[in-house]
């Protein structure tokens, strides 16, 4: 059986595929494969491991309906036309669960980095602007005892909430389509309306999937309803916030700061105004980028690929 991999996956995954006599072709160039190149590369293959934001849309699926399985190197599947895949009987697998801790760590890291203007201060040293000890340079704010709002309290949001509660005794409020009783029981998270979430959160962290309902949800009108001293964190998908509106909201002090691991588009341009703002921290989509998590993701991918090649139900199949 033959599998095409559109990027790098952890070596444990490659080893397991080889042990199962899978013949691998891998995209090795230091750029994302284009849609046309991906279609071309998948001809004559039995399976695809899709690394990165490749669009698994109706056009791709039609051209590659011979694939027995597509295993995503992500938990998110907003890039997939699930209905088209179902219609063509191409099973799609993802990697849920294993990246919750690492992604929540990234949200926590961004919260602290923003609250203490860490990235901005670091850049001052690089620019040779650290001249003397100033008792009141650009001051940060503290998160201890404040209110954490989670938009989309699933596995990753719950990990972030647990960390904030344990480290800073933060109160946790959340807004979801449906209640998360586990979180209410475990950490006393309180369900609130979307408007209450905006009005009460000192730190508002996004952990929802990108769907037609959440796409572009955070607009100027929404930022206006947040506290002027609040911090907005997005480690989910850049498409959930409107970037121009976020810049305006920060410029006009509707909110105090922002931490982003995801942007729209990705990669972010190096001249983006967000990168020179004092209370902003941006990372290049590294949410799940740890040795441990990437190895765990690769092992799930192999399980999905092997099941799909045998015509069995994928252990982690996208609905
Ligand atoms: C995910 O797993 O969805 C990460 O954001 C990588 O895309």
Specify if 18 maps to a domain.
Answer: yes
Amino acid 77: pLDDT = 97
Instruction: Report how far residue 153's alpha carbon sits from residue 134's, in angstroms, rounded to the nearest whole number.
Output: 40
Specify if 318 maps to a domain.
Answer: no
209 and 140 within one domain:
yes
Buried b (16+ CB within 10 A) or exposed e, 131-155: eeeeeeeeebbebeebbbbbbbbbb
133 and 90 within one domain:
no
21 and 84 within one domain:
yes
- Read off the pLDDT of residues 47-80 as tens digits, 9 standing for 90 and up: 999 999 999 999 999 999 999 999 999 999 999 9
76, 96, 157, 208, best to mutate for ligand 1 pocket (most atoms within 8 Å of CB): 76
Is 237 known to be catalytic?
yes
- Read off the pLDDT of residues 100-113 as tens digits, 9 standing for 90 and up: 999 999 999 999 99
264 and 243 within one domain:
yes
Confirm if 150 and 173 have CB atoms less than 8 A apart. yes
Q: For residue 50, which phi and psi values (nearest 5 degrees)?
A: -95, 110
Instruction: Report how far residue 271's alpha carbon sits from residue 276's, in angstroms, rounded to the nearest whole number.
Output: 9
Specify if 226 maps to a domain.
Answer: yes
Of the candidates 237, 241, 243, 294, the residue annotated as catalytic is: 237
Give nearest CA residue, ligand 1 atom 3: 76
Instruction: Report how far residue 317's alpha carbon sits from residue 72's, in angstroms, rounded to the nearest whole number.
Output: 10
Instruction: Report how far residue 88's alpha carbon sits from residue 78's, in angstroms, rounded to the nearest whole number.
Output: 18
113 and 31 within one domain:
no
Query: CB under 8 Å to 110, separation ≥6 — which residues?
Result: 233, 235, 259, 260, 261, 281, 283
62 and 179 within one domain:
no
Instruction: Report how far residue 60's alpha carbon sits from residue 319's, in angstroms, rounded to the nearest whole number.
Output: 19
Does ligand 1 have an atom closer than 6 angstroms to the CB of 74? yes
Instruction: Report how far residue 199's alpha carbon sits from residue 304's, in angstroms, rounded to the nearest whole number.
Output: 42
Instruction: Report how far residue 319's alpha carbon sits from residue 309's, in angstroms, rounded to the nearest whole number.
Output: 19
Of the candidates 37, 186, 266, 317, the residue annotated as catalytic is: 266
Amino acid 235: pLDDT = 98
- Residue 152 sits in a domain whose CATH number is 3.40.50.720
298 and 194 within one domain:
no
Ligand 1 center from residue 52 Cα (angstroms): 8
Considering the entire predicted model, what is its pTM? 0.96
Q: Count H helices, E strands: the chain?
A: 12, 12
- Read off the pLDDT of residues 261-270 as tens digits, 9 standing for 90 and up: 999 999 999 9
Expressed in angstroms, the distance from the first to the final Cα of the chain is 25
Kind and range of the H or E run holding 282:
strand 280-282
239 and 128 within one domain:
yes
Residue linked to tokens 């206006």: 224
Is 285 known to be catalytic?
yes
Q: How many residues does the chain have?
A: 319
Ligand 1 center from residue 75 Cα (angstroms): 5
Domain residues for 8?
2-97+290-309
Is 59 known to be catalytic?
no
Specify if 58 maps to a domain.
Answer: yes
Pick the atom of ligand 1 nearest to 52's CA.
7
107 and 92 within one domain:
no
- Count of domains for the chain: 2
Q: Is the per-residue pLDDT at 138 higher than 90?
A: no
106 and 155 within one domain:
yes
145 and 120 within one domain:
yes
């Amino acid at each position: 059986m033959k599998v095409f991999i559109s990027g790098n996956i952890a070596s444990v995954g490659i080893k397991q595929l080889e042990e199962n006599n899978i013949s691998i072709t891998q995209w090795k160039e230091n750029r994302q494969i284009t849609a046309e190149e991906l279609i071309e590369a998948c001809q004559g293959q039995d399976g695809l491991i899709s690394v990165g934001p490749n669009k698994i849309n109706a056009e791709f699926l039609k051209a590659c309906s011979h694939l027995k399985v597509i295993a995503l190197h992500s938990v998110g599947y907003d890039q997939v036309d699930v209905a088209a895949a179902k219609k063509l009987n191409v099973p799609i697998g993802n990697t849920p669960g294993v990246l919750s801790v690492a992604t929540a760590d990234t949200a926590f890291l961004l919260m602290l980095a923003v609250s203490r203007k860490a990235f901005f201060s670091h850049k001052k040293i690089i620019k040779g602007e650290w001249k003397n000890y100033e008792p009141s340079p650009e001051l940060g704010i503290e998160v201890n005892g404040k209110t954490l709002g989670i938009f989309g309290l699933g596995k990753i949001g719950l990990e972030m909430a647990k960390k904030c509660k344990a480290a800073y005794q933060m109160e946790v409020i959340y807004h979801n389509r449906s209640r998360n009783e586990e979180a209410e029981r475990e950490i006393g998270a309180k369900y609130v309306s979307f408007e209450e979430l905006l009005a009460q959160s000192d730190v508002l962290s996004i952990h929802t999937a990108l769907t037609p309902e959440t796409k572009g949800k955070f607009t100027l009108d929404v930022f206006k309803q947040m506290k002027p001293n609040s911090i907005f964190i997005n480690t989910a998908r850049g498409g959930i916030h409107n970037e121009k509106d976020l810049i305006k909201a920060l410029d006009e002090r509707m909110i105090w700061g922002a931490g982003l691991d995801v942007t729209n588009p990705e990669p972010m341009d190096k001249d983006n105004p967000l990168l020179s703002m004092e209370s902003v921290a941006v990372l290049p989509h590294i949410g799940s980028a740890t040795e441990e998590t990437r190895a765990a993701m690769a092992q799930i991918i192999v399980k999905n690929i092997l099941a799909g090649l045998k015509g069995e139900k994928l252990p982690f199949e996208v609905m």
